[in-house]
């Protein structure tokens, strides 16, 4: 049974500080993972409200992001993550980890993607793909939409840009996405488990026991495996000890800790069910996000 680790590196600080710590922790545990990068500017200050909301969950704004991050794109110019952290990205690849595209600018994507038109969406995604190719020398094979924000143009582009699979959604098992009866042939490997910051909003949940809440959810493994999303800004910094307890716990439960690609390899993609996409809300999440909906044309 497999549990795939999906790591979002959404900020300059998260990439610079959190990513190397996560690489070290994962290698020590003998675990694989997929890293998804913000490849252009970090304009996190433009979504300060979102950062403040997230920072109620296990770490203060300064602990999680640093003061500069909260000002990038407003009072401070946003650093170009791809340019300044290119060696870190190549180091992740050279350490044997899977890499992919999170966004060109995570903040812009989270603010605008849900309602963006085709032109804006394609410019953002192509810029990210082009930057990835310049840094790593190959085309990306995996996409993970920042904040699980998606629109039909982005969904179509996951197929047109040649991604082998994507993890843009929240759900229960791998599927082929359908938007208004339009089938998009880029399989989705949705995040199946709540994130640590979402769990930390639950009553009587804290940094000492949050790993136990999550391990309780994985005690009975599904046949299709799990996908857990963690953040370089959180598990790569303040919550790194919690991640260590989780890795040990999952291995004790019998899970192989793999990349998304490792999970995808164990799936017969030709037999995946087709599911509609819905926009909705989840406990602990700010705003709406893209969810796996009902099976398309399922037998009554």
Percent of the chain clearing pLDDT 70 (strictly above): 88
Per-residue pLDDT averaged across 28-51, rounded? Answer: 84
End-to-end CA distance of the chain: 30
Q: What is the mean pLDDT of residues 91-95?
A: 98
- Name the nearest CA neighbour of 242 among 201, 203, 214, 218: 214
User: Judging by DSSP bridges, how do beta strands 142-143 and 274-280 pair with one another?
Assistant: unpaired
Domains annotated on the chain, with CATH: 2-295 (3.20.20.370)
Rounded to an integer, what distance in angstroms lies between the CA atom of residue 37 and that of residue 90?
Answer: 12
Q: In whole angstroms, what is the distance from residue 172 CA to residue 225 CA?
A: 9
> In sequence order, which residues have a C-beta less than 8 Å from that of residue 245 and are 6 or more positions away?
211
| Alpha carbon distances (Å) from 267 to 2, 34, 104, 144, 264 | 11, 17, 29, 19, 5
Distance CA 217, CA 187 (A): 24
pLDDT for 13: 92
Average pLDDT over residues 69-73: 57
For residue 270, what is the DSSP state?
G
Contacts of 186 (CB under 8 A, 6+ apart): 143, 155, 158, 159, 163, 164, 165, 166, 177
The pLDDT of residue 184: 97
- In the chain, % helix, strand, coil (3-state, to 5) comes to 45, 20, 35
**pLDDT value at 158 more than 80:** yes
Average pLDDT, the chain: 91
Counts of helices then strands in the chain (DSSP H, E): 13, 11
Residue 159 pLDDT exceeds 70: yes
Contact (CB, 8 A) for 185 and 274: no
pLDDT at 58: 45
Task: For residue 285, name the pLDDT band (cuts at 50, 70, 90).
Answer: confident
Average pLDDT over residues 264-292: 94
Tell me the per-residue pLDDT of 166-194, one tens digit each, with 9 for 90 and over.
Answer: 999 999 999 999 999 999 999 999 999 99
> Shortest CA distance to 102 belongs to which of 34, 13, 175?
34
Dump pLDDT digits (tens) for 47-61: 454 555 555 544 555
Q: DSSP string covering 127-164, please?
A: HHHHHHHHHHSS---EE--GGG---HHHHHHHHHTT-S
Of 43, 72, 48, residue with least CA distance to 61: 48
**In this prediction, what percent of the chain has a pLDDT beyond 90?**
84
């Amino acid at each position: 049974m497999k549990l795939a680790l999906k790591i979002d590196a959404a900020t300059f600080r998260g990439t610079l500080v959190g990513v190397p710590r996560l690489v070290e922790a994962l290698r020590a545990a003998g675990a694989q993972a997929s890293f998804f990068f913000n490849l252009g500017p970090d304009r996190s200050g433009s979504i300060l409200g979102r950062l403040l909301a997230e920072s109620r969950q296990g770490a203060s704004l300064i602990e999680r992001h640093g003061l500069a991050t909260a000002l990038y794109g407003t009072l401070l110019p946003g650093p170009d993550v791809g340019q300044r952290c290119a060696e870190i990205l190549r180091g992740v690849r050279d350490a044997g980890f899977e890499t992919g595209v999170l966004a060109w600018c995570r903040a812009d994507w989270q603010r605008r993607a849900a309602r963006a038109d085709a032109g804006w969406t394609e410019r953002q995604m192509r810029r990210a793909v082009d930057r990835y190719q310049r840094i790593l020398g190959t085309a990306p094979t995996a996409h993970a939409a920042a904040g699980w924000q998606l629109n039909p143009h982005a969904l179509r582009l996951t197929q047109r840009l040649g991604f082998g699979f994507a993890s843009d959604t929240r759900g229960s098992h791998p599927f082929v996405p359908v938007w208004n009866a339009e089938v998009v042939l880029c399989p989705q490997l949705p995040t199946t488990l709540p994130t640590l910051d979402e769990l930390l909003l639950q009553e009587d949940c804290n940094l000492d026991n949050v790993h136990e809440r999550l391990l309780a959810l994985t005690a009975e493994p599904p046949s299709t495996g799990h996908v857990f999303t963690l953040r370089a800004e959180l598990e790569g910094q303040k919550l790194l000890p919690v991640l260590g307890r989780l890795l040990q716990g999952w291995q004790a439960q019998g899970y192989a800790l793999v990349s998304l690609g490792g999970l995808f390899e164990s799936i017969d993609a030709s037999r995946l069910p087709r599911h509609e996409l819905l926009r909705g809300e989840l406990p602990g999440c700010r705003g709406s996000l893209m969810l796996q909906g009902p099976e398309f044309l399922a037998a009554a």
